[in-house]
Amino acid sequence: MNAAESLFLTQGFLETTVSEIVKDADVAKGTFYHYFTSKDEILEALRERYMTWYLACIDQAIDGETDSQEILLQWCESSIKCYVEKMRVHDMLFHEGFHKCSNIHEERAIAQVKAILLYGQERKAWSATPINLVSSMMYHCMHTAVDNLTNSAEYNEKTLGLLLYQRLLGLIK
């Protein structure tokens, strides 16, 4: 999978062949097809791996926190930090226009936000209703803000987490 990710980043998904992947990975073509039926399937496995890493990165940041507002702040800051850390990989996996992209991975990220919002609601820290709409809005706000980091005169990687937290908290308070 590492060889495929590296080749997709340098050459692009369409331009990379299975033959190049197995050569870079130093495995037989049969070994590739034992684990994956196609190049599309390895792309989906890379998406799964990325999302598992991304969500674990955020979970680690909020682990042990009990204060709802602190959890939301840590979500804002760690989401941005983790996203920026592997932005090229993320964009290759989820933004390239030449491959299909399902919403399964996005739904996992939104479910994490929803869990944070429900936790705060249970503790009367805020009211985030309708919960599905608000959790989706919050995730997409963060996602869009990070996508625009390089063009923003209003915020940067270091200031965005707190700024996002303040604005999102205002939305649900």
Residue boundaries of the structural domains of the chain: 1-37, 40-172
Per-residue pLDDT tens over the stretch 36-69: 999 999 999 999 999 999 999 999 999 999 999 9
Q: What is the CA radius of gyration of the chain?
A: 18
Q: Which of 87, 12, 101 is nearest to 54 (CA)?
A: 87
Quick check: 165 pLDDT over 80? yes
Lowest mean pLDDT among 5-14, 91-100, 128-137, 160-169: 91-100
Calpha distance 172→137 (Å, rounded): 11
Quick check: 153 pLDDT over 60? yes
Quick check: 76 pLDDT over 70? yes
Q: What is the DSSP letter of 125?
A: S
Calpha distance 131→121 (Å, rounded): 10
For residue 100, what pLDDT is reported?
Answer: 52
Fold classification of 40-172 is: Tetracycline Repressor; domain 2 (1.10.357)
Lowest mean pLDDT among 40-54, 92-106, 141-155: 92-106
Calpha distance 112→149 (Å, rounded): 23
For residue 104, what pLDDT is reported?
Answer: 85
pTM: 0.84
Q: Mean of the per-residue pLDDT values for the chain?
A: 94
Quote the tokens at residue 138: 């919050």
Fold classification of 1-37 is: Arc Repressor Mutant, subunit A (1.10.10)
Q: Are 56 and 110 in contact (CB under 8 A)?
A: no
Quick check: 34 pLDDT over 80? yes
